[in-house]
Amino acid sequence: MTEPHPLPHLQVRGLNGWYGESHVLHGVDIDVHEGETVTLLGRNGAGKTSTLRAITGLLKKREGVIKLKGRDLIGLPTYQAARAGIAYVPEERGIFAGLSVAENLTLPPKVAEGGMSVAEIYRLFPNLEERRNSQGTKLSGGEQQMLAMARVLRNGARLLLLDEPTEGLAPVIVQRIGEVLRTLKASGMTILLVEQNFRFARKVADRFYVMEHGRVVDHLTAAEVPDRLASLQTQLGV
């Protein structure tokens, strides 16, 4: 067998997932290579969030193969999967109301060496430093998204799972998030991004997977996008 790439950073094969009795993921295959930014596209309810949750173990009822640098994650509880080197930025940001901005920021424990220091993070997100003592949920939507991203940059994980970071945000903030992603990418971070905002995703991603009804129905590289734009638009309903 010839494998065109070296061992992927994240390898998902035949992933199935259930919420109780309802079967929502049907054999999802995804590869994300070291340093790559890959975007999962798909309409509402396609199973993008569920895929990320299955990778982290938050979706407990799952089957298939999930390998992080060759290490199988399927049998692990969520916290051990995280410690294997996953940084997770959930849908709707998940800022804790009972914690200050600074506490939110420093909450995730280090899982590996090499994360950013708090000072570096504040340099990247200056408004967080100004508001570090306010309650986490008192921040604006954009600031909360920054905080949600900043939060996982400390912990040293090299795989970043980002779920719709631009949702509901003003264009300037979206642009700012794009800059941050490019900075992270330049630093060698591997990124699996869930996005419905295709225009945004296009600016940062190397490759795309399109999901529908809990399956991956299409796959393309950034170079292929211009030729495939029309079919993509029907698939995504944009």
Partner 1 sequence: MTTLFGLPIQAISGQLLIGLINGSFYALLSLGLAIIFGLLRVINFAHGTQYMLGAVTAWLLLTVLNIGFWPSLVLAPLIVAVAGLLIERLFLRYLYGLDHLYSLLLTFGLALMIEGLMRDGFGAAGKPYSPPALLTGVVNLGFMILPIYRGFVVVASLIACLSVWLLIEKTKLGAYLRAATENSGLVQAFGVNVPKLLTFTYMLGAGLAALAGVLAAPIYQVSPLMGSNLIIIVFAVVVVGGMGSIMGAIVTGYALGLLEGLTKVFYPQASSIVIFVVMAIVLLVRPAGLFGREA
Partner 2 sequence: MSIATSTPLKTANDALGIGHLVGRALIVLALLALIAAPLAVYPVFLIKILCFALFAAAFNLLVGYVGLLSFGHAAFFGGAAYITAHTVKEWGFTPELGILAGVAFAATLGLVMGFLAIRRQGIYFAMVTLALSQMVYFVFLQAPFTHSEDGIQSVPQGLLFGIIDLSKPLPLYYTVLGAFLLGMVLIWRVVNSPFGNILAAIRENEPRAISLGYEVNRYKLAAFVISAALAGLAGAVKAIAFQLASLVDVTWQMSGEVILMTLLGGIGTLLGPVVGAALVTAMEHYFAATSIPAPVLIGGCFVACVMLFRRGIVGEIRHRLKARSSR
Binding interface with partner 2 (CB under 8 A): 58, 60, 78
Phi, psi of 149 (to 5 degrees): -75, -45
Chain centroid, CA 38 distance in Å: 9
Distances (CA, A) of 216 to 55, 78, 116, 141: 15, 24, 34, 30
Q: Which of the 8 DSSP states describes residue 168?
A: T
Instruction: Establish if 49 lies at the interface with Mg ion (CB under 5 A).
Output: yes
Q: Which does 155 bind (CB under 5 to 8 A by kind): ligand ATP, partner 1, Mg ion, none?
A: partner 1
Q: Which does 196 bind (CB under 5 to 8 A by kind): Mg ion, partner 1, ligand ATP, none?
A: ligand ATP
For residue 234, what are the contacts with CB-CB under 8 A and spacing of at least 6?
A: none
Q: Which residues pair with 161 in a beta bridge?
A: 88, 192
Site string for ligand ATP, 85-104 (x = CB under 6 A): ------x-------------
Q: Residue 125, SS3?
A: coil
Instruction: Establish if 190 lies at the interface with partner 1 (CB under 8 A).
Output: no
Contact positions with ligand ATP (CB under 6 A) in 178-237: 196
Q: Which does 111 bind (CB under 5 to 8 A by kind): ligand ATP, partner 2, partner 1, none?
A: partner 1
Instruction: Establish if 51 lies at the interface with partner 1 (CB under 8 A).
Output: no
